[in-house]
Each structure stands twice: as C-alpha cells, then as structure tokens.
Structure 1
Amino acid sequence: MAFHMEGGIMVFTPTLEQFRDFPRFISYMEEHGAHHNGIAKIIPPKEWKPCRDYNGVDDFVIPTPVSQFVTGQQGVYQVFNIQKKSLIFSKFKEMANSDLYKPPKVKDNEELERKYWKNVTFNPPIYGADIPGSLYDQDVKEWNINHLGTILDTVTEEYGVSIPGGLNCAESTNFASLRWIEYGKKAKRCMCRKDMVQINMDVFVEKFQPEQWEEYCRKKESKATPTKHSESSRSTGTKHNKLLEFSFKPPPTKKSKLKEEDDDLEEEVDEGRGQIGDDISMDCGRVNLMIL
C-alpha cells in the first residue's frame, strides 16, 4: 500500500482491493505510525462511489441548523451556537451559494483560511450539523459509514461536520480497533460539563476480552464500593475535589444584534449544487467523508 507525507501528515492512496477491508487497513496504518500524528488522510480509489446519485437530497430536512457567532480577537475566541428553525437542504444550498455566504475567490486554501479567521467575527456561518443518518447507498460495502466492521459498530454515532469552504457535506462516525479497548478501560469521564458522555466498556471487555471479564468486574465493583475514608468525608462535609463548571452566555447587549442578523438570513439567493469530493480524513478514531 502506498503512502507519502504532506506537511507532516501521512497520506494513503489504497487500491480498491486494499480499500475493501476497513479494520485491516486501519491496522496497516497503525503499523506505519499514522496514529501517532493524531490525523491521517486517505485518498479513496477512483472506482469507489459511496452514492451514485445525490439528486434526491433536496427535500432532506435539517432539523436544527446552527448559526455560529464568534467573538474575540488575536487568536482567542468564544463561540455561541444559536439554533435556527428547520429547513430543507435545497434552501440550505441556496443560502450557501449566495453572495452572503459563499467563499471568496482565492488562489489557494491557505489564503482562504487567512480570510476566514480575519472575518470570522463578522459573518456568522450556518451549519447543518449533528444530523443522524447517511447518504450512502445501502449496497456500498467498502468503507460504509453505517457498518465499518470495527468494535464500535454496535454503538455508532453519525453526525455532520462542515468546514469554511462553501457548500459541502460530511459524514463521520467514531470507530475503534482492538487496541483502543485498553484506553477505554482506563479513561476517566470529564466532569467539567454536564453534557459530557462516557462509553460503558462492559460490552467490549465481555465480547473481545472474555478471559479478563471476571477480573474486570471485580475491579469495577471494588472501585464502586465506598471506603471508610470517603464515607467520613461525606459525613463531615469535607470536599477533597472541587469541580468547576463553566458556562458562556452572550452578553445582554448582543441579543438584539443576534436577532437582527437572524432576521436577515431569508434574503434572495443564487442556485448551486454540491459535488462529491475525493478525500477522506481520519482524526482521533473518527472517519470523515467530505462531499464538496
């Protein structure tokens, strides 16, 4: 399997035959150290088509579009995500290709990125993110987001991601190899926010590490049993660990401005159409298919 380096990132160019087995390909990438960089790029073979026809997506409903308001300067920013009313994809497409939202003409991606950060606080982008579902054809067997063949297929989460490059769509899902189980067993849940999630590792240990199941249950039970020290701490009101919770809300003076900008979204726009891209990126156990 061929790969090369671009800007410190490993770029893989598999054949269709090499592309068929997702878990095996991930193992190959890890054997060559791709996971140490935190991100890698895979260029699929030209024969691979996740969807033959995108003409039927115009009536696809985006339930909660998000308008992303950014405040800050000199590289330090706060983001406020304002949920919008639902709309269909054809309307979203019109907005994305309007003069208000379409990207400026640039000579390369670096210039586009510079312009994005220079203007990020002026024109809030609209994202159709966190939408369960898939545009893959059901008979696609290679790298199908819905069933990649990894240990996370039973607890798959799909969500959309957008980047500041005009109209585009991305499908992404979490995945994990057998090597990930030990990390999952040792991971601690972040308590800094109320909406943080945690994956229960029981199903993975029982299915993929059956020889460790009994010992795993004993350790888990011992951790859950309160000790005399912890009982004494609760009775005396002593707090050994203080958890801080931070929340950010737009200042009162911003609300009227956000409302005014919100009302300006429904203006006349131009037609446009997205086309499927040819890049797949992988970062931190996630595969992203970009449809450009």
Structure 2
Amino acid sequence: MSTRSSFGDDEQTKVPRIMTFRPSYDEFKNFASYIEHMESRGAHLAGLAKIQPPAEWVARKDGYDIDNINMTIPAPICQVVTGAHGLYQQINIQQRRQMTLRQFMEKANSELYQTPRHFDYEDLERKYWKNITYISPLYAADVKGTLSDEDLDVWNIGRLDTILNLVNTDYNIIIDGVNTAYLYFGMWKSSFAWHTEDMDLYSINYLHFGAPKTWYAIPPAYGRRLEKLANETFVENYNECNAYLRHKMTMISPKVLRQHNIPYNKITQEAGEIMITFPFGYHAGFNHGFNGAESTNFASRRWIEYGKRASICKCRSDMVKISMETFVRRFQPERYENWLRGQDFGCHPEEPGKICASAPPTLNEYEKQASLRAIKSQKRGCSLAATTNGCESNSEAVENPADADDRASVSSYSSSRHLQPVVKVRKLAPKETVVPETSAPPKKYDFNQVAVVRVRRLWNELPSTENGVNLLTNGVVKNTKRMRFQTKVLTLDDED
C-alpha cells in the first residue's frame, strides 16, 4: 500500500513517492554503499524508503518461535490517546509490572486487544483513526537487545558500520537505541507519533515477524509545514518547548494533513522488510497486530548539515544530544574554525535560501582554554563556564541555565562513567516558572489537561491498601531514563 495525498495537479506531480528497492545479495553486502545508491536514485526525497532484502540474507536462522525467544519486557507502556477531529495527544504510561514475550503475545491476541476484522489495509486504517481514543493498547518499546544472530555480518542492526560510530570511538559513549539496537513489540493500534529521529539522524527498522506496520511519511522538503501546523494547533506545548515534537506524543491524521495542504505518503511494511528513514523525514504509524521489530540510528556525511542545525529539546535533561565537533572537524575541516566561533553561516538542507548560523558548538578549544584560565585565576565568584573574553559571574550562570546546557558535549540517558576528559555532561537546572503574558495567543486545545484529568480519575479508582503517590499533579509528563518514549509510571495491583 503506497498512496499520496490529493492536492492540486501542479504540486502533486512534485511530491516524491516512497521507493521500494530489491537488491541482489552482492549489492546488499556493503551497507553504506547501498544507502548512497538509494540516495542517488532520489529515495531520500520522500523521507522514507522500503527494502526487500535478498533471499540469501537471514537475520535469525532459528526462526521466531516465541517459546524459543528468551525475552523479558521490563516496562511496557500503555498508550492513552486524547483529542478529536484528527488532532490527538498520546500519553505513554509506563507499567510497573514486567512481562514475558509470551504474556505480551497472549494479551495482544486476546479478545480485548486483537486486530478487528477488516477487508483490506485501507479498511483497517479507517478503523484505526475511528477508534484511536478507545481501548488503550500496550507497546513494548525501547527494549534493549537484538533478535539478529551474533554472527550476522551483513546489515546487522546492532553494529552498522557508519560514521555515527565516531560517537563511541571519539567520546567512548554508547547511546541506547541510537548507536545500539532497540526492540519494539507491538499489538493492534500501538503507535509511534509524528517525529524525526534524534539529531535528525537516519534510522533503520527491520520487521522480524508478525503483523504489518503502516507508515506515514512527509518528504523532508515539506517538514516545516507539519511543524507550523503542530505549533499553531498545540500552542501550549509549543510555548513550553519549541521542539516538543521530539516528545513523540503528537498525532495528526491524514485527513487533517490534506486539509492543510501537507503532502504525505503511506506504505505498509510486511514481516521481513526493512524501512529506512532519512534526515529530517517526519514519520508516524501504527501496528496491525502482534509483531516484533528491531531498530537503530545511523549517519552519513550528508547528515552532518542536518545534525548541525537540528532542533534540540531543552525541557528534558535526558534528551539525546550529540556533539557535532568530531563530525565537523573530520569531514568539514574548512568550516571548523568558523563553526567554533559560531560563524558557520549557511542554509538548512531543506530550506535553501534561508541563511543563518548553525548551532554554536557544544564544546570547543576556545571554551576549554578559557576554562583553564578561569581555574588558574582562582577569583571568587568566577564561573568555570568562562568565555574567551573573561569570566562570567555566578549570577549570570544561574540566570542562563540553557547556556550551560548548550555547552554540554553529549547528554543522554546513557551511562557517563567512561567519558573522556574533553566531554562534559551537565544536568539541566530546574525550570523557572513563567507567568504567561496577557497578550498570549488564544488556546485552541488543551489535550494534555484533558488526559491528566482522565488518568487521575483512573488513578483514584484503583484499589490500593496504601495511599501511594500521585505522579500527575500538574499535568507535566516527564520522560524516564529507561525509555525514549515519553512515559509516566502508574502502579497497578492486578491484571485489570
């Protein structure tokens, strides 16, 4: 299934289609080379591409008998969706009780959660959007591990050989799910909301077994249109974080996209097929039933300009941030000095003609030298976050917590025990309360508040011998260090 939105004839002819590739095994052997080949054919213009691997490539020789897969899901999430008329917010509530893969499969195939009867994929898609707010599904997302054989040398998702490996080589940092593999076990209606990858990286998703996935994708050239629609619709979320789409909780239906003239494609991924997302390619989708997929991120030289200009969420200290220093120094040496000074002017690859400076470096020689001078000066009140012009006062450091976050070289939920001396990891300062101005734009919807009221009601109705702690006091949904999905913890006493 591959379709495109209906627009005027002139624009419709310009919207690129999702391409499907069927390589031979010889073509398939070199991962980086084949990605370059796909882009030479224009696959990246759609933001998403499908690959049907050659028959000789087998990811798991032992097959997928659930009883033979020793897998425990530490914290499945319950996806509560609120909203109406094609505009929704998805809140992921982390379950405390772990599940085995067999238990998850049995729940996915139970009468309550099983896939409804349908004529074809189009009929199932209509049922998905019609019933999206009913019967919240479970999703076993961000599970560390792999289902691929250890001796798989060709397209092994757990160890792809791309320039993203420099994060580990130069910084000695492993970021779960970014430069390692994550597993995703879904059921009917479990979803992934509109987002681009962390730092606008590439991603690869292999569907090992089970029911298909439906993918929606917006060509990168039209990504700003989606952002504009989301920002104007979910105003409160946008005011709190200008990169809130990275929270992965915003869901917009194809009908609304068509109404706002936002081109998109959709395609179905079957078991045994690979999906590739490209830099700044917004994508979303849902599962047709019980299935298992494996995913990770990767990079190429073409990505570097995207990474330098990627939006960063600063409201959550555990959001993935990768220092671009090693990539600029190695692959753009002619721009390195200007980049260090914050004078690397250019255009976002998807916004030609809009010249601006790329994001300032998170760590550079000037800051390091200034910090050394600050330490030697030993003056009272002198901040270690000094600039080349001298020392900043402590009051300035407190008043600008975002600046301290900008200087963090790499910050994620991964362990920082093995950081080299040149890498800094800093925690975000507590966010100050901002009193909204009277001239603030009118609110259109407050889906987050509606969801909080709904979940609080469920919380109060739960049987418990103890009072417990209500984690939903103000409607702010915080991410846990275990999950890349935004989650909340809700303790249940029994299966119901």
Could you state the TM-score of these two structures normalised by the residue count of structure 2?
A: 0.46
Which position in structure 1 is the counterpart of 2:30? Answer: 21
Which position in structure 2 is the counterpart of 1:70? Answer: 81
Give me the whole-angstrom Cα distance separating, in 2, the residues matched to 1:101 and 1:265.
18
RMSD, matched Cα: 3.7
Give 5+ residue unaligned stretches, structure 1: 268-292
Residue 31 of structure 1, CA deviation: 0.9
- Once superposed, which parts of structure 1, at least 4 consecutive aligned residues long, lie more than 6 Å away? 241-247, 261-265
- Do 1:191 and 1:243's aligned partners in 2 also have CA atoms closer than 8 Å? no
Which position in structure 2 is the counterpart of 1:266? Answer: 495
Identity %, equivalent residues = 43
- Do 1:70 and 1:120's aligned partners in 2 also have CA atoms closer than 8 Å? yes
Describe the SS at the equivalent of 1:146.
helix
Q: Do structure 1's residue 181 and structure 2's residue 327 form an aligned pair? A: no
Which of 160, 176, 181 matches 2:183?
160
Distance 1:174 1:17, change over 3 A: same
Give me the whole-angstrom Cα distance separating, in 1, the residues matched to 2:331 and 2:296.
21
Give me the whole-angstrom Cα distance separating, in 2, the residues matched to 1:42 and 1:70.
31
Which of 92, 111, 117 matches 1:81?
92
Number of aligned residues: 258
Q: Do structure 1's residue 34 and structure 2's residue 57 form an aligned pair? A: no
Which position in structure 2 is the counterpart of 1:151? Answer: 163
Q: Which amino acid aligns with 2:112?
A: L
Residue 251 of structure 1, CA deviation: 3.0
Which string of whole-angstrom CA distances, capped at 9 and with x for unpartnered residues, describes residues 133-181 of structure 1? 1110011122110122111134504333443211101111111111112
Distance 1:253 1:143, change over 3 A: closer
- Do 1:192 and 1:243's aligned partners in 2 also have CA atoms closer than 8 Å? no
Give me the whole-angstrom Cα distance separating, in 2, the residues matched to 1:97 and 1:9.
31
Could you state the TM-score of these two structures normalised by the residue count of structure 1?
A: 0.74
Which position in structure 1 is the counterpart of 2:110? Answer: 98
Q: Which amino acid aligns with 1:11?
A: T
- Do 2:31 and 2:160's aligned partners in 1 also have CA atoms closer than 8 Å? yes
- Do 1:116 and 1:164's aligned partners in 2 also have CA atoms closer than 8 Å? no
Which of 221, 225, 228 matches 2:387?
225
Residue 121 of structure 1, CA deviation: 1.2
Q: Do structure 1's residue 134 and structure 2's residue 146 form an aligned pair? A: yes
Give me the whole-angstrom Cα distance separating, in 2, the residues matched to 1:205 and 1:141.
29
Which string of whole-angstrom CA distances, capped at 9 and with x for unpartnered residues, describes residues 55-102 of structure 1? 365431101100101111111112121111111111111111111111
Which string of whole-angstrom CA distances, capped at 9 and with x for unpartnered residues, describes residues 3-30 of structure 1? xx94321111111111111100100111
- Do 1:57 and 1:89's aligned partners in 2 also have CA atoms closer than 8 Å? no
Q: Do structure 1's residue 254 and structure 2's residue 455 form an aligned pair? A: yes
Which position in structure 2 is the counterpart of 1:61? Answer: 72
Which position in structure 2 is the counterpart of 1:44? Answer: 53
Q: Do structure 1's residue 172 and structure 2's residue 195 form an aligned pair? A: no
Give me the whole-angstrom Cα distance separating, in 1, the residues matched to 2:86 and 2:315.
23
Which of 123, 138, 152 matches 2:135?
123
Give me the whole-angstrom Cα distance separating, in 2, the residues matched to 1:81 and 1:159.
18
Which string of whole-angstrom CA distances, capped at 9 and with x for unpartnered residues, describes residues 198-225 of structure 1? 1112233344456765665465446883
Give me the whole-angstrom Cα distance separating, in 1, the residues matched to 2:27 and 2:493.
49
Give me the whole-angstrom Cα distance separating, in 2, the residues matched to 1:243 and 1:130.
32
Distance 1:253 1:175, change over 3 A: closer
Give me the whole-angstrom Cα distance separating, in 2, the residues matched to 1:135 and 1:255.
37
- Aligned ranges 1:4-19 → 2 under 5 Å: 6-7=2-3, 8-19=17-28
- Do 2:146 and 2:183's aligned partners in 1 also have CA atoms closer than 8 Å? no
Residue 185 of structure 1, CA deviation: 2.8
Give me the whole-angstrom Cα distance separating, in 2, the residues matched to 1:211 and 1:91.
55
Give 5+ residue unaligned stretches, structure 2: 4-16, 169-173, 187-285, 343-360, 368-385, 404-431, 437-445, 463-489
Relative CO higher for 1 or 2, CA cutoff 8 Å, sep ≥ 6?
1
Give me the whole-angstrom Cα distance separating, in 1, the residues matched to 2:85 and 2:298.
35
Give me the whole-angstrom Cα distance separating, in 1, the residues matched to 2:158 and 2:396.
46
- Do 2:73 and 2:140's aligned partners in 1 also have CA atoms closer than 8 Å? yes
- Do 2:78 and 2:138's aligned partners in 1 also have CA atoms closer than 8 Å? yes
Distance 1:113 1:182, change over 3 A: same
